[in-house]
Each structure stands twice: as structure tokens, then as C-alpha cells.
Amino acid sequence: MSSRGKTWWGQRFIAALEQQMDAGRLQRGRSYASPRRILSFEISAKGVVSATVRGNINPYFGVTKEPRYQVAIQLDPIPAKARKTLIAQLGGRADLVSHLLMNEMPEGIDAAFAESGFGLLPRTEKDFKRTDCSCPDWANPCKHIAGVYYRLAEQLDHDPLLLFELRGLARNELRTELAKTPFGQALAPLMTEDDQAPLEPVTSLYPPLRPLADEVTSAASAWPQQALDPQGFWRGRVPLPTEPEAAIAPGHDRVSAVLVKKGGDFPPFWDRDQSFIAVMDELYRRMQSKNRRLL
């Protein structure tokens, strides 16, 4: 598990922790971010992060039984009275609305929050309402809090809208209110059109480039009765078409990239450090360039 943020907001989130801790505790805290150390991890509806962290046995200090420490982290929430004003400011910018409705973190989000007098990403210890640990360490944050904090940063890499929930603004409320703004009313239908499209079953993920000749069908139907032919198995009984079929015209049975982008830069199945969307974008560009003659 990576203990460093992969996204710009994940890195900024960790930077706030690093400003509060000495290098020794910080280094030990990274090792406490693993599932082997964090036995339970949950985030309440009020944005409180709670975790159970496994400590170390240390007979020198009289610790002969493996300890379990309770950790709680809570960011300073945005007051309820200020949320409506904040959402109105966010909804006044089309770039912010389009990204937030796609579950993405726009780079200009800090400026929009600054206008309202509040912050989204923590900067100093003043942005934390609560950081508690049941361990005997006098320092706050301790290495156990740091481990949970690193784990939380990893969650934020995959789910940037979680930052709003940590600030007391539920994502459903955010998306609902943004959809009511003029920009939201114009963009929301485009964001949901793929979700409303009915699913159609297919017989194969790789349909043929063109209808095969009749002899292919006859050969395939006769396959069970024919003798084993290793050479025919590897080379095929019917030659493949020499020219691929022309590319599908735009707007005909083509899947929109909106569906891919809804998964975010780091979807749960993606464990690499580079953004999944950036990798796919580069892949499609290379394929388009290499196969320009066929398009």
C-alpha cells in the first residue's frame, strides 16, 4: 500500500499532516497505514474517521500484550449556514460543476472556497476539529493517527468527493444542489445519459470485422465430426479477411468516454501511481495515430 498521495489533492492532504509531525513519528506512521496495522476503518455520516490500530508489544515499557488503540480524526466542518452560499459560488462556474458532477476534483476548487472564507483541503492543525488516540504517546498527532491519516489520504485518491463529506457536506446534497444551478441543469443530463441507456446482451466481446463467408459456417458446423488436425488448428481452415471493415461512423453504437471518467483517476481496481484516465487517453491517442489510415 502506498503511503503517499497519488493525486494533487491527496498530496496536499498529506502535506498538512507533515507540517505537524517530526520526521521520526512521520516515518513510523507510514508503516501503520497497512491493513496489518489498521484492523478497522470507517467514516461516519458526520465525517468522523474512526479506526482501531494494532500497536507493538514492548516488555521494556511493560507492554506484554498486544495493544489495540482507538483513533479518531475529524476536520473542522463548514457551518450549515455557509453551505448554501458556497454551493451557489461553486454552481456559478461551469468548469467546477462539470467536474464535480463527474466525481472529479477540479484544480480551481481552492479559489472558489477561498471566496467563501472556508477551505476544503486542510492546511494547518487549525483545520482539524479533533485528532485523538488512546495510546500513551504525549505527541498529537502520534504515529497511530498518522497511519490512519495516510489511509484516509489513499481513500481520497480514489474518492475525491469524500473531502466534502469530511467537511460536513454530504455528496448527495452537493450533487443535488449543483444540479439545480443553471450550469447544473444544462450539464446533468449529459452526465447521466450513459446510466439510462439500457444494457443489451452480446454473444461476444470481439465481434467479427465483417460477415464471414458461408464456407466458414459449414466448416464450423462440421468441426466436431472431422478428425483432429493440429496444423488446421493453429493456422485455421479459412483465411482471415485481408482488409478490416471501415470504422464505425461517429454516433453509431459508440460508447461515450463519460462512463470511463465516472470511475475517476484512480478507480478501485487500478493500483498504479499514474492516473487511469491519463493512461487510457494516451492509449487511445496512440491507437488513433497508428491506425490513422484505417479510420
User: DSSP letters along 32-87, please?
Assistant: TTSTTTEEEEEE-TTS-EEEEEE---BGGGTB-S--EEEEEEEEPPPPHHHHHHHH
**pLDDT averages per 10-residue partition of the chain, 295 residues:** 68 85 82 90 91 85 84 90 82 82 81 78 86 90 92 90 88 83 72 53 56 53 55 56 52 55 72 74 77 65
Looking at residue 217, its pLDDT comes to 55
Alpha-carbon gap, residue 72 to 131, rounded angstroms = 6
The alpha carbon dihedral of 126, 128, 129, 135 has a sign of negative
> Dmax over Cα atoms in the chain, in whole Å?
83
Instruction: Give the residue extent of every domain in the chain.
Output: 8-192, 242-295
Is the whole model's pTM more than 0.75, yes or no?
A: no
Alpha-carbon gap, residue 123 to 114, rounded angstroms = 13
φ/ψ bin of 240: left (φ > 0), alpha (ψ from -120 to 50), beta (otherwise): beta
Alpha-carbon gap, residue 7 to 161, rounded angstroms = 13
C-alpha distances (whole Å) from 248 to each of 89, 203, 204, 245 are: 42, 19, 18, 9
Looking at residue 1, its pLDDT comes to 42
Q: Which residue has the cell 493525486?
A: 7
C-alpha distances (whole Å) from 267 to each of 33, 103, 272, 273 are: 19, 11, 10, 12
Looking at residue 260, its pLDDT comes to 67
Alpha-carbon gap, residue 32 to 150, rounded angstroms = 9
Looking at residue 278, its pLDDT comes to 77
Alpha-carbon gap, residue 161 to 174, rounded angstroms = 9
Alpha-carbon gap, residue 11 to 34, rounded angstroms = 18
**How would you class 218 by CB atoms within 10 Å of its CB: exposed for 0-12, middle for 13-18, buried for 19 or more?**
exposed
Alpha-carbon gap, residue 19 to 128, rounded angstroms = 13
Alpha-carbon gap, residue 166 to 159, rounded angstroms = 12
- The amino acid sitting at 191 is M
> Which H helix or E strand runs over 90?
helix 80-91
Secondary structure letter of residue 102 according to DSSP? T
User: Cβ atoms within 10 A of the Cβ of 168, count?
Assistant: 19
C-alpha cell at 174: 452537493
The alpha carbon dihedral of 223, 224, 225, 229 has a sign of positive
Looking at residue 275, its pLDDT comes to 76
Determine the angle formed by the axes of helices 80-91 and 94-101, rounding to 10 degrees. Answer: 110
